[in-house]
Structure 1
């Protein structure tokens, strides 16, 4: 079979979702490297963030500054950051034939501010339509883990890095909050089976990377090359 053809193969948009401490950032990085080995041009990004304006919004939100404004205002801020992210980074990258891998995207707003925070679904729908402007992910990988296990992973990682496990705007919430987040992501996956794949994040990093690679290759057969195992 011929090698991956960057000229004729379509650009793809993949997002990674899930609760805190499930390893999204690590797996985005590993998948990007593996795709790069095949000659795929990849852009890695994250939300909130990805562009200078969106990163400024990220800093503002995660410091807890808009908490007094209410969760609805928070959802609007995320949408504003996402609109800039899509217009300035995601859409141009896809238009140029690059694959985009994003650590969190619109599903996180739907779960954090909508299903968990209580923002009306109609407002979430409207903000999502405005910000995405038709740029729906081709594949969303939801990494699933019991929140207690995820918290232990975060604490262990902080100790290994020699740093205190500082809580950001969301990590400081209690376990019940994170259990509701988990249920929210699983509900989105059940509602969107054509787009979403749920994988257990309890396996070790290497095993999870292999499972993600299996899912991506099955979803995008243009990645099959002569040197890939059957």
Structure 2
């Protein structure tokens, strides 16, 4: 685990996110989707898988099953045929079918905009719910993945011993004006710059503000 850095002060965090905003004013998630339902499915499939891998698997799937009823009509075995390149695909397929049935039976085929309702769906945890709330309904919810957890602790932007603490740190320490896009900026920064094994500090726009002991000169 990355050694947690000391919590940065408000002014430093404001400057960090001002730079993120200037560099990429409207960051977007990289999972392909066409509506709230396909977003739920894509995020649920992305657990322990890459966005690239999920996008490849769902490209054809979402053309024929972009609603809960269409997914039920497709059936579990045909769903598996589409997603078998994704890790844990059998369990994920079962969850997609179960959540699709619940959405049809209890929500008229619509995806609820409540975190409690979303997390009650099979295979949908708090992170998945937060992604859907943020990306589809534009709620300033924070989906903490491994990238955010690492960047938050490495830089001191939002340190915490677990994802729940990091989520609260984002909400507590990042200025409100940046909350909507905060988790996307952090994810993208962690994915492409502040990488796990070897951060690319030479390409980092917040290098001078970062106090990480892992900061390199390359």
The interval holding the TM-score normalised by the smaller chain is: 0.3 to 0.5
Scaled by the length of structure 2, the TM-score of the pair is 0.32
Q: Whose helix fraction is larger, Structure 1's or Structure 2's?
A: 2
Q: Which has the higher relative contact order, 1 or 2, with Cα contacts under 8 A spaced 6 or more apart?
A: 1
